[in-house]
Amino acid sequence: MEKHLLSINDLSASEAIQILNTASELSKISDGPMKKLPTLRGRTVVNLFFEDSTRTRISFESAAKRLSADVINFSAKGSSVSKGESLKDTAQTLQAMGADAVVIRHGASGAAQRLADSGWISASVINAGDGTHEHPTQALLDAYTIRSKFPDLKDNFNGLKVAIVGDILHSRVARSNVLLLSKLGAKITLVAPPTLIPVGVTDWDVDVSYDLDSAILNADVVMMLRIQSERMAASFFPSEREYSRGYGLDLARLNSLKDSTIVMHPGPMNRGLEISAESADSHKSVVLAQVSNGVLVRMAVLYQLLGGAALTGEVGA
Amino acid sequence: MKYTIKNARMLDDAIVDIEIANGVIANIGKEISAGEIVDAQKSLVIPGLVDLHTHLREPGREDSETVATGSAAAAKGGFTAISAMANTFPVADTAGVVEQVFRLGQEAGLCDVFPIGAVTAGLEGKKLAELGAMANSKAQVRIFSDDGKCVSDPLLMRRALEYVKTFNGIIAQHAQEPALTVGSQMNEGLVSSKLGLTGWPAVAEEAIIARDILLAEHVGSRLHICHLTTAGGVDLVRFAKSRGINVTAEVTPHHLLLTDELVSNYDPVFKVNPPLRTEKDVMALRKGLADGTIDIVGTDHAPHPTEDKDCEWQSAAFGMVGLETALSVVVKAMIETELMSWETLVERMSIAPAKIAGYAKHGQIVAKGSPANLAIIDTSATWIVDRNTLASKSKNTPFAGMTMPAQVRHTFLNGDLVLKNGQIVSKMNGGSN
């Protein structure tokens, strides 16, 4: 990771671990009385959101503010984008306003990379979710959450068994997690009906299963993905009930998990569809930890992209 | 206007002088010096290239190309005949529009422009356009295509194939099953799975090819498959030919050279429909072109203005310009790889397309009495593609920065020199008429 975070492919395993370590250091400050760091004072972070995502935007906004950056929120709705302004013009406008970093959420796969590569702007670009491609900070916060629940994992995830369950085909969360967790050494099994698994998956570094019951028996981490109801209309599966029966994490499946297994979900959850209320609220669920860790990990990313220097020293100051 | 091409190299390596008068090759021999002298300096002389698949955008999108600028690009690329696709605004689905395009081509005078008529009114796939009226117009349309869209209704496709028999027409199908390609952005495979771009599966092309070759067999009509891109499609055409079905097939230069790996940086200059496929497909297409399963190369020259490519992938237009690079790309993909000879290249890029379309004055071997539609090519030259020097009004070439073999030096159109030393000879300067 030099200037941008567009994809997990931008990170080596050690760089990813370094982000997690930075987030750990930052967590110590967050638990203290003075939550704010002066690191990015005078820097401007723009949240450029072409898709509605209050959760992710707030998470990035809190992260930037806790590092004392100025934050500009730009959402496409009601802006000149809805009047037909191009991504290029929007980006250049923000650049002219002095953005040091642009956090972009966009419905088109590759939009973040285009923003970074096209020469339109000189700011750092952070991908906050591009179409059905990637959501790298989500994967980093998931890895951070996993590590916090499995203290034996430090510099790699060797031996960790992860089941990622649901709409792999359309999930940027799944793509980023597959890349990151396998880079760190975890063994990944994708679980979904075949309609929701990409045709090219045979060349990914994962196992594929159509049977949730057997796939989760030995899993250390069960990561449930959100199912969107429009997938049903497009015949990816026959009905919500049939999907839920086959691929939902209900109480019986929750009870079949090992004691140490954790249940994750990037949110927002469809309770009763991919995850039952009992599973979502059980002690195995780390969904709320994922949310709070999101701020720490995004602080760490902003810190490393904009702050430059290693964290040690300054944090203690 | 009289010309003599001095020191021209024929396909059999003989060095000759070629005298051109009254639009035809008046003489081939030694020590001829009639009219204006063009010294070929032992460059190869071949019949002018013929493209059956060109988007000229006029009328309607003159911001991306006009018949005149597209004709200039064609002349620079060694083409003497191009075929203007029907997806203009308005659509070329009436005698009026095809006659307009034909007339604009004549006025530009740099290349013969033969309009292709739409198969269905407004390219809407609902009812036949006035095919007979276009065939009987001054443009004498023989090729009909909804290119850009597939004639997906099987009954309408059957009717179109049958109907054009009265004037020996041909239906050129853009093979893309629409239901299998909703929202598609690139080839469906490993790369699309990583990039999170909606896939355009090979089967969507192959399903239509399979259906249409069987329809063509059933009604005994001529079918042309536009821009074949898949290994499976090559197999289907090979099967059809072995059954004696009257089918011809085309491949674009870019599908002979580029693969879907190039999409990995999301640069929309590589966005094209049908999409770039895999290495395996590229190899099958090359083999198919070499052995004649694929009859011709068609450029699918598809100009788009800068703003339609200077954006995110999903919003970008599909298409690449190709007239000025076609010959070099085919040389790179087929001749440098020793899959094909220059003689076969001439067959695939000039003789066969002219024969399919019935362009009588094109695709004739270089011989005394043949129409003087010629391209003179420095086969040992190399050049670097620079999008800023393209004659096309649009600059969306995927080959920018690549070093290419073989360069077109001169082009003769119906006996007139329209490209001299790589430069367009303007009619306004009295260079030719």
Is-contact B340 B294, C-beta < 8 A?
no
Distance from CA of B307 to the nearest CA of A (A): 9
DSSP label at residue B391: S
Top CATH class, A8-134+294-307: alpha beta
CA atoms within 13 A on the CB side of B246: 18
Paired with A45 in beta bridges are A71, A101
Cα separation, B195 vs B186, in Å, equals 10
Decide which of 3.20.20.140, 3.40.640.10, 3.30.2130.10, 1.10.3660.10 is the CATH code for B47-357: 3.20.20.140
B126–chain A Cβ distance below 8 A for any pair: no
Query: Which of A109, A208, A230 has the most B C-beta neighbours within 10 Å, making it the best mutation to test the interface with B?
Result: A109
Q: CA nearest B263 in A: which residue?
A: A110
Cis bond leading into A268, ω under 30°?
Answer: yes
B194–chain A Cβ distance below 8 A for any pair: yes
**What token pair was written down for B2?**
């009289």
User: What is the reported pLDDT for A83?
Assistant: 60
Cα separation, A209 vs A157, in Å, equals 21
Instruction: Kindly tell me if the per-residue pLDDT of A231 is higher than 60.
Output: yes
Contact B193 A200 (CB under 8 A): yes
The partner residue sitting opposite B195, judged by closest CB among A109, A118, A199, is A109
CA atoms within 13 A on the CB side of B208: 28
Query: Which of B188, B312, B314 has the most A C-beta neighbours within 10 Å, making it the best mutation to test the interface with A?
Result: B312
Query: Which of A89, A114, A202 has the most B C-beta neighbours within 10 Å, making it the best mutation to test the interface with B?
Result: A114
**What token pair was written down for B141?**
């349309």
B261–chain A Cβ distance below 8 A for any pair: no
Kindly report the three-state secondary structure assignment for every residue of A173-229: HHHHHHHHHHHCCCEEEEECCHHHCCHHHHHCCCEEECCHHHHCCCCCEEEECCCCH
Distance from CA of A189 to the nearest CA of B (A): 16
Residues of chain A with C-beta less than 8 angstroms from the C-beta of B310: 86, 88, 118
Instruction: Kindly tell me if the per-residue pLDDT of A315 is higher than 70.
Output: no
B195–chain A Cβ distance below 8 A for any pair: yes
User: What is the reported pLDDT for A234?
Assistant: 83
User: What is the reported pLDDT for B28?
Assistant: 98
Residues of chain B with C-beta less than 8 angstroms from the C-beta of A204: 193-194
Residue whose structure tokens are 């640069």: B267
Residues of chain A with C-beta less than 8 angstroms from the C-beta of B279: none
User: What is the reported pLDDT for B431?
Assistant: 40
For A74-116, the pLDDT digits (tens) are 887 666 666 667 888 888 888 888 899 999 999 999 999 999 9
Distance from CA of A220 to the nearest CA of B (A): 25
CATH number for the domain formed by residue range(s) A136-290: 3.40.50.1370
User: What is the reported pLDDT for A82?
Assistant: 60
For B130-143, the pLDDT digits (tens) are 999 999 999 999 99
Q: Which is it for strands B36-39 and B186-187: parallel, antiparallel or unpaired? A: unpaired
Residues of chain B with C-beta less than 8 angstroms from the C-beta of A175: 194, 196
Q: Using pLDDT thresholds of 50, 70 and 90, give the confidence band for residue A33.
A: confident
B183–chain A Cβ distance below 8 A for any pair: no
Paired with B374 in beta bridges are B47, B412
- Give the number of other CB atoms < 10 A from CB of residue B415: 20
Distance from CA of B179 to the nearest CA of A (A): 11
Cα separation, B20 vs B28, in Å, equals 9
Distance from CA of A106 to the nearest CA of B (A): 10
- Give the number of other CB atoms < 10 A from CB of residue B365: 14
User: What is the reported pLDDT for B1?
Assistant: 85
User: What is the reported pLDDT for B262?
Assistant: 98
Distance from CA of B258 to the nearest CA of A (A): 19
Compute the mean pLDDT over every residue in chain A, rounded to the nearest whole number: 92
Cα separation, B319 vs B275, in Å, equals 9
B196–chain A Cβ distance below 8 A for any pair: yes
Average pLDDT over residues A140-166: 97
Instruction: Kindly tell me if the per-residue pLDDT of A291 is higher than 80.
Output: yes
The partner residue sitting opposite A106, judged by closest CB among B190, B201, B312, is B312
- Alpha helices (runs of H) in chain A, residue ranges in sequence order: 13-30, 54-66, 87-96, 111-117, 136-149, 172-183, 212-215, 229-233, 240-247, 251-256, 277-281, 287-302
The partner residue sitting opposite B312, judged by closest CB among A108, A199, A202, is A108
Query: Which of B188, B194, B200, B271 has the most A C-beta neighbours within 10 Å, making it the best mutation to test the interface with A?
Result: B194
Distance from CA of B193 to the nearest CA of A (A): 5
Contact B188 A200 (CB under 8 A): yes
B389–chain A Cβ distance below 8 A for any pair: no
Is-contact A171 A222, C-beta < 8 A?
no
Domain spans in chain A, listed from the N-terminal domain onward: 8-134+294-307, 136-290
Residues of chain B with C-beta less than 8 angstroms from the C-beta of A198: 192-193, 199
Q: Is the CA virtual torsion A176, A180, A186, A187 positive or negative? A: positive
Displacement of CA B111 from its chain's centroid (Å): 13
**What token pair was written down for B77?**
């690329």
Residue B203 backbone dihedrals phi, psi, to 5 degrees:
-65, -25
User: What is the reported pLDDT for A81?
Assistant: 63
For B312-338, the pLDDT digits (tens) are 999 999 999 999 999 999 999 999 999
**What token pair was written down for B273?**
């429909």
User: What is the reported pLDDT for A72?
Assistant: 93
User: What is the reported pLDDT for A313?
Assistant: 40
B202–chain A Cβ distance below 8 A for any pair: no
**What token pair was written down for A156?**
């790699």
Among B67, B49, B87, B81, which Cα is nearest to B326's?
Answer: B49
Residues of chain A with C-beta less than 8 angstroms from the C-beta of B204: none
Q: Using pLDDT thresholds of 50, 70 and 90, give the confidence band for residue A36.
A: confident
**What token pair was written down for A179?**
């890349």
Q: Which residues of B are tagged catalytic?
A: 300
Is-contact A219 A189, C-beta < 8 A?
yes
Contact A130 B196 (CB under 8 A): yes
- Alpha helices (runs of H) in B122-189, residue ranges in sequence order: 131-135, 154-163
**What token pair was written down for B37?**
């002298």
Distance from CA of A199 to the nearest CA of B (A): 6
Write out the DSSP string of A90-134.
HHHHHHHTT-SEEEEEESSTTHHHHHHHSSS--SEEEEEEETTTB
The partner residue sitting opposite A109, judged by closest CB among B188, B197, B307, is B197
Domain spans in chain B, listed from the N-terminal domain onward: 47-357
Cα separation, A234 vs B304, in Å, equals 32
Instruction: Kindly tell me if the per-residue pLDDT of A168 is higher than 50.
Output: yes
Residue whose structure tokens are 């073989």: B406
Residues of chain B with C-beta less than 8 angstroms from the C-beta of A132: 196-198
User: What is the reported pLDDT for A308?
Assistant: 53
Cα separation, A135 vs A112, in Å, equals 10
* ipTM reported for the complex, 2 dp: 0.91
User: What is the reported pLDDT for A317?
Assistant: 33
Pick the residue with more confidence: A53 or B203?
A: B203
Low-confidence ranges of chain B (pLDDT < 50): 429-433
Residues of chain B with C-beta less than 8 angstroms from the C-beta of A109: 185, 195-197, 266, 313-314
User: What is the reported pLDDT for A255?
Assistant: 97
In chain B, the largest separation of any two C-alpha atoms, in whole Å, equals 64
Find residues 286-325 of chain B whose CB sits inside 8 Å of chain A.
307, 310-315
Cα separation, B317 vs B269, in Å, equals 9
Residue A282 CB-density burial (10 A; 0-12 exposed, 13-18 middle, 19+ buried)? middle
Cis bond leading into B59, ω under 30°?
Answer: yes
Residues of chain B with C-beta less than 8 angstroms from the C-beta of A203: 190, 193
